[in-house]
Structure 1
Amino acid sequence: MAIGLATVPGTVRNDATVPSAADDVAARRAARSAPGSAATVDDVVHGQVLHVGGRLDVHTVPDVRAALHAAVDAGTGDLVVQVDGIVVADATGLGVFVGAHRRAQRTGRRLVLREVPLPALRLLRVTRLHLVLQVEDAPAQAVDRTAVRRARAEALLLGPGRTGGAQNSRESTSSIPRKAS
């Protein structure tokens, strides 16, 4: 079932491009500036796999909700929803996935969101919905934040031209001087 086709600048696909902060801003501006733009729902495997794309807001969610409910009712097992092209514009965009998740639970199924773009993933994390909804296949562009923080901290501590080791050149890090023997 195809509802409409929308291309949204700033969305993340499975290619090698890494979105920047400017891409995030562009996606949010596009979401705000194009009211009522179409969302897409493609039934990839009937009752098992759906592809949802486009802008999810109060105007487009009813069609997406109907398609998700029909897919939940039609199949068994996990319902995988590929959301690589979505832009969540308001709370109803998140609410449609929560509603489909609850409906799937009542029928003994599980809703799995796959290929979530970074702006939508950030929204899921801020609202703590990533703990409720099953989010699979974190984007390849997402890097380990701990490793990035550690590298930045080392770069700040070492500074330019330093090779490592203790920050001070003394062996002891104590501020109390040692007694001469």
Structure 2
Amino acid sequence: MVRCEANYRLLIKLMPDIQVEDDLVFGLAPLQQTFGYIDIAVTERCKYTTTVTITQTNAVQPALLVEEDNGETADVEKCSKESNPASWLQAPTMSVRLYHDARMAEVLSYQKQGRFKPSYEYPNQKMFQRDEKAQLNHFLGEWLNYCLKVGQVLGNPMGDITSSSTT
């Protein structure tokens, strides 16, 4: 309960005009180096709830070169999956419902897996943890805090995400 309330506050801090705004895209730029992008898109808007999809796109800079076995360098985009450092990493995607009357946000789906039970017997067929739903809501909170900490407005390397969303 407390985690869902905190996640609601974090999402509203990132997207204060969520009742009218349909999409927010910003870069993740720790140490002024873009590592990826976050897209928060409203997928459903009702009287008391809003559903958003949060997607992180991992950035691979085309200018990044890697050294091949023969000593030559190659562009990362031309490398195979085995040698591309970001190709094996699946970018997180999460669907979240915000309950405006209760001021709570709850994870509905993660990586195309949905309908999480409050608890699971262990072991189970999908090998979910006993508290899978609680862990996903905890991860959402960490992810949103990270976005608030290192999020950068696209095209403005000095402006953090919280100062831009209120203008």
Where on the TM-score scale, by shorter chain, does this alignment land: which range? Answer: under 0.3
Task: Pick the structure with greater CA Rg.
Answer: 1
Relative to the length of structure 1, the TM-score reads 0.24
Q: Which has the higher strand share?
A: 2
Relative to the length of structure 2, the TM-score reads 0.25
Q: Which has the higher contact order (CA 8 A, sep 6+)?
A: 2
